[in-house]
Amino acid sequence: MSHPYSPSDLILPDFTPNLRSTSEVHAWNGIATFLVMLVIWLVSGRSSRKLSKTDRWLMIWWAVSGLIHIIHEGYWVFSPEFYKDESGNYFAEVWKEYSKGDSRYASRHAAVLGIEGIAVIFVGPASLLAVYAIAKGKSYSYILQFALSLVQFYGSSLYFITAFLEGDKFASTRYFYYSYFIAQGGTWLLFPALIIIRCWKRICAACTLPDHKSKVY
């Protein structure tokens, strides 16, 4: 059966079209994300530590980010034939939909598989650790967030660069190109970049000795 992806000559044997509408897929995504955000915001507001609003928003980012890496991307990594799904499985439907903006997910592109595999195994669990580190004020909080954001930024950079080097031909329409590939993919560049800058400043400030103190050799 023909598929809605680009390039049109992409071979996907036994492809099954989406059984859920685009709006339904987005609605369930939005509801799940909102519930995670709400829970983290409420829990962080009742923390025994006085957390700033920035820290609470960072906890939300790392919680949502970590769950996306582990659950959504984990499903994709371990379900190579999701495009054949005939049951209406929510996660299969998500990736059938997103592949309209980047068909490399449907074709199991090696570069994307490598990037997502690292995200699932390492970045996802470490992101949830970052939530805990912020909540408890752990000494490793900033260096952990810095390292995670650097990995995310680097992985997202490779994600875009490899697509551009291969002709930037993986979106079925301009709408899906800008809404899925650019906007959604760009999130993993923007937020990590902002966190990198914030953590860099905090780490540098913590490592700066006052002028009146003795030098450490």
Q: How far apart are CA 75 and CA 77, in angstroms?
A: 6
Q: What is the distance in angstroms between the CA of the first residue and the CA of the last residue of the chain? A: 70
Average pLDDT for the chain: 93
- Residue 80 near residue 110, CB atoms below 8 Å: no
Q: What is the pLDDT of residues 192-204, one digit of tens each?
A: 999 999 999 999 9
Q: How far apart are CA 45 and CA 49, in angstroms?
A: 9
* Three-class secondary structure of residue 140 per DSSP: coil
Q: What is the DSSP letter of 138?
A: -
Q: What is the pLDDT of residues 178-190, one digit of tens each?
A: 999 999 999 999 9
The pLDDT tens digits along the chain (217 residues) read 689 999 999 999 999 999 999 999 999 999 999 999 999 999 998 877 889 999 999 999 999 999 999 999 999 999 999 999 999 999 999 999 999 999 999 999 999 999 999 999 999 999 999 999 999 999 999 999 999 999 999 999 999 999 999 999 999 999 999 999 999 999 999 999 999 999 999 999 988 866 545 454 3
